[in-house]
A and B are shown apart, each in its own frame.
Chain A
């Protein structure tokens, strides 16, 4: 598990599949090989009014860690991460009296997964309750675990591959954690950050 940077790809005037196709061509030209598909999904549950002030539980799955369920609890004041076995989903079903799922916010990012050298690149088409929202590019540099050490290197890779629309600063979530050891839950935090942004943005209205 190495440092992962998640970034939106400027869609300009192209549709989702077109964007993915362009990026796929670029990454293949650089010498990458496709290694299957990936999927990250997120479902959000909110507490019932009887439980007092509102709390939100985001339950995420990442195909990179298929046996784990990640949950992020937002209380308003703080966010608490939790990693559990797959059966956590079953527990959330049992808790439906207390926490109800908001179906219209079900988000996912899925698409092809490439490997190039020690990098792993995922091109995700993002949908929120089946509406196309944009393209998320995930780049992981697997040998390194400290974001501060390899940020410049990742930036160079992203810019070489995304052109000018590559990021110039680390993701906001990582900015305070540049010196800490990176772990899979950090990737989940970044996905949630982007999903939240996509949910707020008006839909592009195109089905992927």
Chain B
């Protein structure tokens, strides 16, 4: 009967062994509304969960950020962003809390975007908790769509809606005439081989949808 270890000790041991999936490999793209059926059809053929049909989801996502108010000229502004997601279609599921770090585009040879990510289930008090922690809501949206699996890869095809009114789900307005397509894998760091698998899979969806490394900074400049 050994004494239970300190939680922090076991966490740092897990970190050392590199078994915590804290890196997200990501490719993004979009498809117009009128072609989404074709894409879903293709995905149904390519992915693992064929017999049970695609898994649908309807989630509400809130993006929080924690920033230090008085940043002097010398200290760079520190921003820390967190996302909270909850299912609108299934009750009594836990909320999901997610930290997403800075993304690395890497050079041309790297097939996907890599960003650090910590994903965890949490209780419904999380929204209050983050608000009182000093976070503020940057934006929120509703995503509705389908999820597919192919080995370790996760493919989501979702429609993004603006939040309308105070109650979620009351009146929602789609943000655009297209669906967001994401291909992602959550893995411990250093498993770059998976990125190659993702590139090959993305090839198979061309030319219906172009899954690419999206550089948000550049998008910011366009807008």
Contact = CB atoms under 8 A, between A and B. Distances in A.
A and B directly contacting (CB within 8 A): yes
Interface of A: 34, 36-39, 41, 43, 47-48, 50-52, 55, 57, 61, 63, 66, 69, 71, 73, 75, 78, 80-91, 94-95, 97-98, 108, 110
Interface stretch (B39-47, B124-132, B175-183): B124-132
A84 B11 CA distance: 14
A37 B4 CA distance: 7
B133 A55 contact: yes
Given A37-B2, A69-B7, A90 B134 contact: no
A50 B132 CA distance: 15
Given A43-B8, A83-B122, A110 B3 contact: yes
A68 B80 CA distance: 23
A161 B15 CA distance: 43
A83 B123 contact: yes
Q: Which 5 A-B pairs have the closest CB atoms?
A: A85-B120, A61-B7, A63-B4, A84-B122, A37-B3
Nearest to A64: B4
25 contacts: A39-B6, A41-B7, A51-B68, A55-B133, A55-B134, A80-B132, A82-B129, A84-B97, A84-B121, A84-B126, A85-B122, A86-B7, A87-B119, A87-B120, A88-B120, A89-B7, A90-B15, A90-B22, A94-B118, A95-B66, A95-B80, A97-B80, A98-B66, A98-B68, A108-B6
Given A37-B3, A37-B4, A91-B118, A75 B132 contact: yes
B122 A86 contact: no
Interface residues of B, number: 35
A38 B123 CA distance: 24
Contacts of A81: 123, 125
B70 interface: yes
B223 interface: no
Interface string B2-31: 111111100100010000101000000000
Q: What secondary structure prevails in chain B residues at the interface with A?
A: mixed
Nearest to A53: B134
A73 B2 contact: no
B146 interface: no
Contacts of B166: none
Contacts of B126: 82, 84
Given A51-B68, A90-B118, A41 B134 contact: no
Interface string B166-193: 0000000000000000000000000000
Contacts of A41: 6-8
Given A87-B118, A90-B22, A97-B80, A50 B68 contact: yes
B200 interface: no
A37 B7 CA distance: 14
B68 A97 contact: yes
B69 interface: yes
A50 B69 CA distance: 6
B1 interface: yes
B66 A39 contact: no
A55 B66 CA distance: 14
Contacts of B15: 90
Given A80-B125, A91-B120, A97-B68, 7 more contacts: A37-B4, A73-B133, A86-B120, A94-B118, A95-B80, A97-B78, A98-B134
Contacts of B97: 84, 91
B99 interface: yes
Contacts of B2: 37
A136 to B, nearest CB: 16
Given A80-B129, A95-B80, A51 B1 contact: no
